[in-house]
Chains A and B, each alone.
Chain A
Amino acid sequence: MISIHDLTRISDHEWEIPQNFRPDMRVPVRIFATRELLDQIAGDKSLEQAVNAATLPGLVGRVVVMPDMHQGYGFPIGAVAATEFPQGVVSPGGIGYDINCGVRLLASSIEAEAAAPHMDTLATLLNQYCPSGVGKDGVVRVGVPELERVLREGARWAFKNGYASETDLAHTEEGGCVEGANPAKVSDRAKERGRAQIGSVGAGNHFVEVDVVEAIFDPETARAFGLREGCLVAQIHCGSRGLGHQVCTDYVQEFQGAVKRYGIELPDRELVCAPMDSPEGQAYLGAMRAAANFAFANRQILAHSIRRAFEETFARVGARYTVPLHQVYDICHNMGKLETHEVDGERIKVCVHRKGATRAFGPGSPSLPPEYQQTGQPVLVPGSMGTASWVLAGTKESMLRSFGSSCHGAGRTMSRAKAKHDVRGEDLRRELEGRGIRVRAGSMSGLAEEAPRAYKDVDAVVETVCAAGIARKVARLRPLAVVKG
């Protein structure tokens, strides 16, 4: 069992588990956290899981973990690990079951004060148009040939079918389509699960939320991102649904044999992996990218549904807004991506596994559209339900110290069982409504599990990554309406 005393303090916001902590570690672990957050992190098994992640073959630099870190399975949530291409490994469990789970932010010029009388209508329409909850189908159902186009093209498929604008694509990681997707490597069962789920939120901690831009910390960057103080924005948090879950399930099972074939020894079977240049590694990469494209399409269809809800709500009251719901950005926080990073003074191609961590590329990155070249990438950090969310920007420091990554949320600190025991969903809904937050939730027990007290303080998480220099503050968002499964 690892304790805080095993860690080396680097600064007020950085700690390290040295490589010699355990003989099977291939790289050290760097933790971005304050002492206070570290005390919370040490309450579960996440540090041990970070050490386990540091045993993967082909790792370079160090395993990095964010202040919203908490216990997961295999990797801890909040981990970033880079393996050298092509001989290093890719680990399906290190990317997770919800492949390309991510966040999309849409901004408006609708003033929250003017919109206040219509928020109930908006929340109801969002709930109607954005199906959420256990077993709910999406708004688009396709046959297998069409689904395979979705898997190859991602949000570009949505664009071709009238659900997206060119700006939407430009303001999505990878332009909404990861190259190299191979639908032939996605099982029939995964495809069957995905056919009816395009345009659905799912359950758990996934949501659609309307917020007001409560405070702006960097006016110039906020302007570039299209954020206006006092105006409404909408967030989507979801991923690749059953299709992604099945892809990961299939390959974690498949790779149980691969590790034996390649002589890889691991401390946890969930970490199974295969060299990227092996047939198994290539098959998973093709399937994982296909699932990622499914998630991009899913969030794009949900964005379309949200726009419809906004248009109907405000058309009814004669309100006008010139640019309806401009897309700020769409980020992935469960992904494996081939990127080039500087490691020990040398630029090398690596597969960056981000498991509950957001890409946070700094200014000048060729992956960013021209309008974000000066600012760095928008980094979207949703808070726990009923608390603030943040818009940050990537920095040059993040490129050097965290493989261009930052935090992805508040991070849980309490189990779902304890949250359900301590909180009644109905009481929580009343409390949130009392604070002016409309709640549309399919399950009261599901609501209780997501109670704000089950999470760390998102402000403390954001302060930490900003103080460490791997992101900088742009704007703080306050919730006004939440749709959950």
Chain B
Amino acid sequence: MGINGPRFEELPHTADWAMRVTAPDLAGLFAEAARGMNALTGARPAPGPATHRTVNLSAPDAESLLVAFLSELVYAAEQERITFARFHVDMFEDSEEWKLKVEMDGAPILSLNKSIKAVTYHNLQIRQTPKGYEVEIVFDV
């Protein structure tokens, strides 16, 4: 995972998919997790005009917010056949909960190699590292 290359990598898992994601900040971690999930599924957008969407979510902690955000993308892929490729993420934490606003651009799915059933909480923990943030995510496939 180089500075300019993808900041996600697939991890060994016997049955499902696991991925490690790193980023200098939390907002970048969320965007990179979404890009990593797209890479795992092999989602290819159809050429043509982009679809723009704004997602607002809240959760009691950052991990729950990450699950909620990626679950939105799972739903969009399965139900609406839309994949998103560009993400502008803003995050806020107040005393009660974490809030997320994502501006995303996407397109109808041209092809998809693999679908994800769900984003799990299995051993899910966002960690601070000397270089920023890191998380390992397990997907049920």
Expressed in whole angstroms, the Cα–Cα distance for A413 and B68 within the complex equals 30
In the assembled complex, A257 has its CB within 8 A of some CB on chain B: yes
Q: Select A193's contact among B64, B79, B138, beta carbons within 8 Å.
A: B79
Expressed in whole angstroms, the Cα–Cα distance for A46 and B12 within the complex equals 13
Binds A, one of B26-34, B87-95, B120-128: B120-128
Expressed in whole angstroms, the Cα–Cα distance for A127 and B117 within the complex equals 22
**What's the minimum C-beta distance from B95 to chain A, rounded to whole angstroms?**
16
**What's the minimum C-beta distance from A452 to chain B, rounded to whole angstroms?**
15
In the assembled complex, A418 has its CB within 8 A of some CB on chain B: yes
Please report the number of residue pairs spanning A and B whose Cβ atoms sit closer than 8 angstroms: 105
In the assembled complex, A57 has its CB within 8 A of some CB on chain B: no
In the assembled complex, B118 has its CB within 8 A of some CB on chain A: yes
Expressed in whole angstroms, the Cα–Cα distance for A414 and B123 within the complex equals 21
B120, closest chain A residue (CB): A73
Q: Select B122's contact among A134, A192, A268, A417, beta carbons within 8 Å.
A: A268
Interface bits A244-270 vs B (CB < 8 Å: 1, else 0): 011011001100110000000000111
Inside 8 A of B112's CB, which chain A residues have their CB?
A: 134-135
A74, closest chain B residue (CB): B122
Binds B, one of A93-101, A153-161, A218-226, A429-437: A93-101
Given the known interface contacts A135-B81, A135-B112, the answer about A417 and B120 at a Cβ–Cβ threshold of 8 Å is no
In the assembled complex, A369 has its CB within 8 A of some CB on chain B: no
Given the known interface contacts A135-B115, A269-B124, the answer about A416 and B17 at a Cβ–Cβ threshold of 8 Å is yes
Expressed in whole angstroms, the Cα–Cα distance for A234 and B140 within the complex equals 27
Q: Select B120's contact among A74, A77, A98, beta carbons within 8 Å.
A: A74
Expressed in whole angstroms, the Cα–Cα distance for A73 and B117 within the complex equals 13
Expressed in whole angstroms, the Cα–Cα distance for A249 and B113 within the complex equals 22
**What's the minimum C-beta distance from A326 to chain B, rounded to whole angstroms?**
32
Inside 8 A of A72's CB, which chain B residues have their CB?
A: 15-16
**What size tier do the contact residues of chain B reach?**
35 or more
Inside 8 A of A204's CB, which chain B residues have their CB?
A: 115, 117, 141
A414, closest chain B residue (CB): B14
**What's the minimum C-beta distance from A272 to chain B, rounded to whole angstroms?**
7
In the assembled complex, A242 has its CB within 8 A of some CB on chain B: yes
Inside 8 A of B6's CB, which chain A residues have their CB?
A: none
Inside 8 A of B118's CB, which chain A residues have their CB?
A: 97, 245, 248-249
In the assembled complex, B105 has its CB within 8 A of some CB on chain A: no
Is A270 touching B12 in the complex (CB atoms < 8 A)? no
In the assembled complex, B114 has its CB within 8 A of some CB on chain A: yes
Inside 8 A of B78's CB, which chain A residues have their CB?
A: 135, 193, 242
Expressed in whole angstroms, the Cα–Cα distance for A73 and B81 within the complex equals 27
Is A73 touching B114 in the complex (CB atoms < 8 A)? no
In the assembled complex, A367 has its CB within 8 A of some CB on chain B: no
Inside 8 A of A73's CB, which chain B residues have their CB?
A: 16, 120, 122, 138, 140
Given the known interface contacts A204-B141, A249-B118, A268-B123, the answer about A192 and B13 at a Cβ–Cβ threshold of 8 Å is no
Inside 8 A of A257's CB, which chain B residues have their CB?
A: 60
Expressed in whole angstroms, the Cα–Cα distance for A414 and B12 within the complex equals 9
Q: Select A249's contact among B71, B123, B138, beta carbons within 8 Å.
A: B71
Inside 8 A of A412's CB, which chain B residues have their CB?
A: 14-15
**Contact residues of A between 391 and 423, Cβ < 8 Å to B:** 412-418
Expressed in whole angstroms, the Cα–Cα distance for A74 and B138 within the complex equals 10
Inside 8 A of A146's CB, which chain B residues have their CB?
A: none
Expressed in whole angstroms, the Cα–Cα distance for A446 and B40 within the complex equals 12
Is B124 touching A418 in the complex (CB atoms < 8 A)? no
Expressed in whole angstroms, the Cα–Cα distance for A192 and B76 within the complex equals 12
Inside 8 A of B12's CB, which chain A residues have their CB?
A: 415, 417-418
A272, closest chain B residue (CB): B121
Q: Select A253's contact among B15, B68, B138, beta carbons within 8 Å.
A: B68
In the assembled complex, A473 has its CB within 8 A of some CB on chain B: no
B112, closest chain A residue (CB): A134
Q: Select A70's contact among B14, B60, B117, B119, beta carbons within 8 Å.
A: B14
Inside 8 A of A269's CB, which chain B residues have their CB?
A: 63, 121-124
**Contact residues of A between 30 and 83, Cβ < 8 Å to B:** 44, 46, 70-74, 77
**Contact residues of B between 67 and 118, Cβ < 8 Å to A:** 67-68, 71, 75, 77-79, 81, 109, 112-115, 117-118
A415, closest chain B residue (CB): B12
Is A270 touching B113 in the complex (CB atoms < 8 A)? no
Expressed in whole angstroms, the Cα–Cα distance for A245 and B120 within the complex equals 11
Is A203 touching B75 in the complex (CB atoms < 8 A)? no
B138, closest chain A residue (CB): A73
**Contact residues of A between 146 and 205, Cβ < 8 Å to B:** 189, 192-193, 203-204
List 17 additional contacts besides A74-B122, A415-B14, A443-B113; criterion CB under 8 Å.
A46-B14, A71-B13, A72-B16, A73-B16, A97-B120, A97-B140, A134-B113, A134-B115, A135-B81, A135-B109, A193-B75, A253-B64, A256-B121, A269-B63, A416-B16, A418-B12, A443-B114
Interface residues in chain B, defined as those with a beta carbon under 8 Å from any beta carbon in chain A: 10, 12-17, 42, 59-60, 63-64, 67-68, 71, 75, 77-79, 81, 109, 112-115, 117-124, 138, 140-141
Q: 16 A-B residue contacts at CB 8 Å?
A: A73-B16, A73-B140, A93-B122, A135-B81, A135-B115, A189-B75, A252-B121, A253-B59, A256-B60, A269-B121, A269-B124, A270-B122, A270-B124, A416-B17, A418-B12, A443-B113
Instruction: Return the 8 tightest CB-CB contacts between A and B, nearest first.
Output: A73-B122, A269-B121, A270-B122, A97-B118, A71-B14, A73-B120, A134-B115, A245-B117
